[in-house]
Amino acid sequence: MTTPFFWLIGVIVFFVLIGLRVVDQYERGVILTLGKYTGTRQPGLTWILIGVQRIIKVDLRIATVDIPQQEVITKDNVTVGINAVVYFRVDSAEKAVLEVQDFRHAVALYAQAALRDVIGGIELDFLLSERDKIAEEIKKIVDVATDPWGIDVSIIKIQDIELPADMKRVMAKQAEAERERRAIIIRAEGEYIASQKLSQAAQVLSSVPGGISMRTLQTIEKINPDPSKTVLFALPIEFMEGIKSLSSFLKEKGK
């Protein structure tokens, strides 16, 4: 009688030991009993009845899925290559197991389809300038679709936008033309400011008798600093009158 009893104890201990499972802190264990969902196990040491129950562990940490480069035609008929990455996490372990066959693959395919739909409805300029807004719109679409699967999409980031070679050349020429336009505007603004300052200076010089004439002489002196060279100028009569006015002003001031 002793031997069968020890055999029975040994078999029970064996079944207890092989039924022990450890669920990590970042996991949840979905229990299927004879194929039917019977509960979700929390982190820690747990036990299942071998042959009757099965445990499926689901990782609750944030996961990433790459969307490979897609050839998409924008609303203005420009073919671009776009790839992105999806960040998501499992909110409900039982839904992720029971409602969808492979939630990671399903999220990737749905995000890929949503990306193509959204990009196909916008123009190239908006795509290049509002990348974050487009990614947020795709994220909302995917988040709504994956919510019944127990999936929460955290963020979608558009990584690269590949343009055709001819489109790159056109955009480079456009950027160069824009830079030239800005340079012309800046030069025109500088000339306008300079003309205002010259006008103010002319008014100040005009208020002094012979002031403009003295300024003319200074300009002539700067133009020909070499005394061995002779430069002839045809001076207007107003210049000579300015010299006379200056001489008269200096004489009166000396008295």
Give the lowest-confidence range in 58-67, 118-127, 233-242, 244-253: 233-242
**Residue 101 in contact with residue 146, Cβ under 8 Å?**
no
pLDDT tens, position by position, 20-30: 889 999 999 99
pLDDT tens, position by position, 191-232: 778 777 767 766 665 665 555 555 565 565 555 555 566 665
Strand positions, DSSP E, 74-168: 79-90, 151-162
The helix (run of H) or strand (run of E) holding residue 20 is strand 20-23
pTM for this structure? Answer: 0.64
- Alpha-carbon separation of residue 210 from 197, 236, 242 (angstroms): 20, 14, 4
For 124-160, give one letter per residue: b (16+ CB within 10 A) or e. beebeeeeeebbebbbebbbebbeebbbebeebbbee
Query: How confident is the model at residue 77, as a pLDDT?
Result: 85
Query: How confident is the model at residue 162, as a pLDDT?
Result: 85
